[in-house]
Amino acid sequence: MPVAAHVMRHAAERPSRLAVCGPEGELTYVQLAERVQGAARHLLGLGSGPGTLVAIGLTDPADVLTAVLAADLAGATPLVGDPMWDRERWSRVAPASPNAARPAVHVDAPLPYVAGPAVTHDPRPEDRAWACFTSGSTGRPRAIVRARASWTASFPHLSDLAGIGPDDVVLVPGPLVSSLYAFAAVHTLATGATALLPGRRPSRTLGDLLARATVVHMVPHRLPDVLAHPGTLRTAVVGGAALDPDTRAAAVRAGVRVVSYYGASELSFVAVDVDGGGLRPFPGVEIEVRPTTGGAGALGEVWVRSPWLADGYLGDAAGPLRRDGDGWVTVGDVAEPYRVGEVLRVRGRGDGAIQTGGATVVPEDVEEVLRKVPGVGDIVVIGSPHPSLGSVVTAVIEAESASPPPRALLEAMARGGLDAAQRPRRWYAVPSLPRTQTGKPARALVAARLADGDPDIRRLA
């Protein structure tokens, strides 16, 4: 995905245009290009190049983007992680490099400027130009790797759908370790617009930031705060869960156009809603909703075929991404029945990563511990909505007998084997879990059934 070539072109054509406004200052395109060139020379001196991974754990967003673009210019694959991770943590969540014979370069301090001749790299569509994590600092994140074209070729479509151009100022109000926010920042630079990056601890209020921004690219739960004082905002690009009608109505009152989309880190864009009329396929995307076994009603798995798909996971990491022999892929998300030309109604997320009180919980890590409880036949861990925490960890147990294990026993195992953020706060039992065609528990379908108040799912006292 990184777009060093775009930045170099903008630096030549509009050198004084602001590229990045971060907590530590501002950079024009020519200043950013110069920093990227110097950092690329440094990375090349460390042995980076095609087939190598550059693991980036920096706090300042301008430093992150400089390192990302420098890795791209050097022909390497950048991977942005949490700045709080140490080397031991990195060794557990990322392989040595896409080409395991070459060591990864770890960047945990701003890259120095090295003088020298201009660095050039001929960017190819098939370059492994981007890697990102699918979840955060709790559990075991998976690193996804992408070819350059799988994201950069989608940039013009998003620009057209959202009306984003080189004169815009795009507010990106989240950490770049998130693939959504990283995409937003890099798309902004590819467009030649200005990326407004407040970082993890903004020095300015949201109102001050919105007084400069014309576009914001963000997750849904933050949109109401933006709409309370929209400033100069014209458009909000929102990725993730579906927007409720009240939020869309508030956007209309505030004079802000909302473009929302559904996708996944592995799939990139799948469907987009440009006017509140519902999700329809993003340009170039084909969608099928295939039936699952043991599910309630007619919900099925979302399968996608498009140019925007990731190559897969780095190393030997396991994940929800599955493929068939005809180029279709899924991450297990579920939706109502769908036919071409209709609106796509997504009902649940497949990877199940739970955002709770600022932590990201990987369900598989919780399930691994709780399956050891005597009497637990199988278990699915999901996130249930919570007004202040975002979600709370919720366990749905399939018991081996008519009676599930006592809740006290389950909680004791959770206390002994899980961090505080990982421990379920809500416990349910079900006679049998719905499963996918491959026999795995259908996590998103369980979430949809629980949300619908399925009487077969009973809460444990």
Which CATH number goes with the domain that contains 293? Answer: 2.30.38.10
Q: Same structural domain for residues 379 and 293?
A: no
What residues contact residue 421 under an 8 Å CB cut-off, 6+ apart?
Answer: 138, 356, 357, 359, 361, 393
Token representation of residue 258: 């909302």
Q: Residue 136 has what pLDDT?
A: 40
315, 348, 381 - which closes a domain: 348
Q: Same structural domain for residues 292 and 439?
A: no
Average of per-residue pLDDT across 270-286: 96
348, 379, 396 - which closes a domain: 348
User: Which residues span the domain enclosing 431?
Assistant: 354-459
Q: What are phi and psi of 340, to 5 degrees?
A: -55, 135
Q: Same structural domain for residues 336 and 363?
A: no
Q: Same structural domain for residues 201 and 332?
A: no
CB 143 within 8 A of CB 314: yes
Q: Same structural domain for residues 296 and 332?
A: yes
Mind listing the pLDDT tens digit for each residue in 222-239?
Answer: 898 899 999 999 999 998
Q: Same structural domain for residues 248 and 280?
A: no
Torsion over CA: 363, 79, 19, 259 (sign)? negative
Token representation of residue 98: 């896409």
Percent of the chain with pLDDT over 90: 62
Q: Same structural domain for residues 367 and 423?
A: yes
We report the CATH number of the domain holding residue 21 as 3.40.50.12780
Domain total in the chain: 3
Average of per-residue pLDDT across 17-37: 97
Mind listing the pLDDT tens digit for each residue in 110-169?
Answer: 999 999 999 999 999 999 999 988 754 344 567 899 999 999 999 999 999 999 999 999
Mind listing the pLDDT tens digit for each residue in 306-347?
Answer: 999 999 988 767 778 899 999 999 988 888 899 999 999 987
Q: Same structural domain for residues 124 and 226?
A: yes
CB 303 within 8 A of CB 290: yes
Summary mean pLDDT of the chain: 89
What residues contact residue 249 under an 8 Å CB cut-off, 6+ apart?
Answer: none
Closest among 237, 270, 70, 234 to 154, alpha carbons compared: 270
Q: Same structural domain for residues 453 and 387?
A: yes
We report the CATH number of the domain holding residue 386 as 3.30.300.30
Calpha distance 363→336 (Å, rounded): 24
3-state secondary structure of 35: helix
Q: Tell me, what amino acid is at 410? A: L
Q: Does the global pTM surpass 0.85?
A: no
348, 371, 386 - which closes a domain: 348
Q: What are phi and psi of 417, to 5 degrees?
A: -125, 0
